[in-house]
Amino acid sequence: MPRTTASCCLALTLAAFSPAALNSQMQMPACHAMPAQTNITSPEKLPPPQKLTGIGNLHFPISSHNPETQAWFDQGINLIFDFWDYEANRAFEQAIRTDPNCAICHWGLAQSLGIHNQEVQGYAHDELQKAVALRSHADKREQMYIDASVAEEADKPSKKKGEDDEATVLLRSIVHKYPHDLTARLMLSEAVQDGYEDGKARKGTAEMIELLQAILKEKPDDSAANHLWIHAVEASPHPEQALYSAQTLADLAPNSGHMTHMPGHIFYRTGDYQRAQVSFDLSTSVDEAYMQAQHVVPDDDWNYVHNLMYSIANLMEQGRMKQAALLSDKLPHARGVRAASIYPWSTRDSITRLNPTLPIALRSGDWALVQALLADAKPPASLPNLQSLAASLDAFAHGMQSISAKDLGSARRQSADLDARLWRLSQLLDEQEAASKKKPEDPAKSTKPTNQVQPTDQTLESMVKNLAILSLELRSAILIQENKVPDAEALLTQARREEQDLGYHEPPAFIRPVAEQQAEFLMQADADGKLDGKIEKAWRQALEDRPKSGFPLYGLALLAEKSGDTVRTQAAYREFLDAWKSADPALPQIEHAHHWLDALSQQNASHSPSASTQFAAARISTGYERQ
């Protein structure tokens, strides 16, 4: 594919960020072997916590008569709803130290340990068993909480399809008997959540929405409810429903890295990237101050790297590539040695493990830079899936660069190489899934849950799905060059469908929307304007995926310019420049938009047709001039 103005964001602004320069700034290899994983500290060995303020306002009255125990428990329960597991663990353990017979304190610790799932499920089980053993010290309400968690751990299914499992039934009982217990209602809302289908909330999520709306009507400034409300609607077609929560949450929990981060989800989804950046920047500063003050390692603050990844994605939609590159330098130091901070299930995160700035080159469609950055990536043999990801991305980028060079033979070879790799990975995935299903249960095996160290290599399923989309894009690019536009469109439609099947992720799982790629391909194939309608539809689809992003807005402006409609083009370029008002000024898109508008202004001022030659020159510079 020819590298057009719309796809070469890095060409000018990252001149100072060449592969050599990027690596020199890193101060460490872009892709390095992880040290041996260490066991997670057992709860009783955690360092005593500090009293934290500004983490939320939830209160959970407990039966312990020790006010210190109550204070530490409230700190822990707020931190659970902040998703801040490490500090919640410390708070609940401290509550236990102040009252060793506090059954509900052990329950709370089991809950916070459960956030890590399999990594510490043995510790979580042990704490729940301690809560059961101390059950006689708990009041009736606390006993119901303990019983619900025991049922949840037992994973007893519902008696009939579509009905609640035993744990949910018990949570409903708490809500019914104690209707003013906010924690029970919040926990029930999380228990029933089951996502969206075709843009509509499924039954459980619809109930979650009702539960949270009722809580927020009673207590509009409840920190936990506002947090969960953002999660409840951010994946819906109307994330703006949570704008109030996004505007207030950081004030309700200003010292929580994740709670200050969460408003950015809604601002990003609604296309308010500048406001989202305020949230992400605030979260970065909160987390960094916390980790430095309390000597906390990245593995114990998963939000830090998550927030950086989202911040970088957000900066790219604003055209702030230099800042995105600078922030990417923090990523290697933001990951620890465990899955909690490495995110092996996220292909987007794994791509940054190959080179932190690789997503910037991929988002911009700078295939030469993608290849150059991958050349320095040396994943260790202990991470074979990450090695496969690097080789597959290189084949894709090489193929796209061959399209740019009009070398169809090379592009076909790279496409075949990518598809062969994808086939082998798919076969391996099928074998793993088959082996998992056939593995017999060992009757002698203990049913007691145990801690399980999670692998840190890129997960196959996520990687295969992402590479399958890239394969479709490369094959469609070749078909475009062969003038087989309908066949290319069919593959791109499939790619778009598979991109949607990836589901909602934070940030989006697929770095560059398929609709943008489709629009660019069709513009290259459109010699007589017959595809303008399809091109506009693709750009607008990309704009739905990334609202108010400068990338599709610029594409629409180019399309308007190509049509010769001066009024429409002027409005389109102004809208684009308004969206990218904080973008790097040397970006070719910014320069071209200003050049076109300046030429129009000069023409209007002189009333001379001679300025039309400037428009012709401007159009040629876009790379989309019809032949």
What is the sign of the dihedral through the CA atoms of 459, 460, 463 and 466? Answer: negative
Residues 6+ apart with CB under 8 A from 552: 513, 515, 516, 519, 539, 540, 542, 543, 546
Which pLDDT score is estimated for 118? 80
> How large a percentage of the chain has pLDDT more than 90?
83
DSSP 498-565: HHHHT---SS-SSSS-HHHHHHHHHHHH-SSSTTHHHHHHHHHHHHHHSTT-HHHHHHHHHHHHHHT-
- Going by pLDDT thresholds of 50, 70 and 90, the confidence category of residue 440 is low
Task: Give the separation between CA 377 and CA 356, rounded to whole angstroms.
Answer: 10
Task: Give the separation between CA 78 and CA 222, rounded to whole angstroms.
Answer: 11
Q: Which of the 8 DSSP states describes residue 362?
A: H
| CB 219 within 8 Å of CB 225 | yes
3-state class (DSSP) for residue 53: coil
Location of structure tokens 């790279």: 414
Which pLDDT score is estimated for 195? 95
Task: Give the separation between CA 390 and CA 397, rounded to whole angstroms.
Answer: 11
- Going by pLDDT thresholds of 50, 70 and 90, the confidence category of residue 617 is low
Q: Point out the least confidently predicted range of 203-212, 480-489, 518-527, 606-615.
A: 606-615
The arithmetic mean of pLDDT across residues 420-431, rounded, is 97
Task: Give the separation between CA 174 and CA 159, rounded to whole angstroms.
Answer: 20
**The length of the chain, given as a count of residues:** 627
In tens, the pLDDT along 574-588 reads 999 999 999 999 999
Instruction: Supply the Cα-derived Rg of the chain in whole angstroms.
Output: 27
Average pLDDT value for the chain: 90
In tens, the pLDDT along 8-19 reads 333 333 333 333
Which pLDDT score is estimated for 161? 66
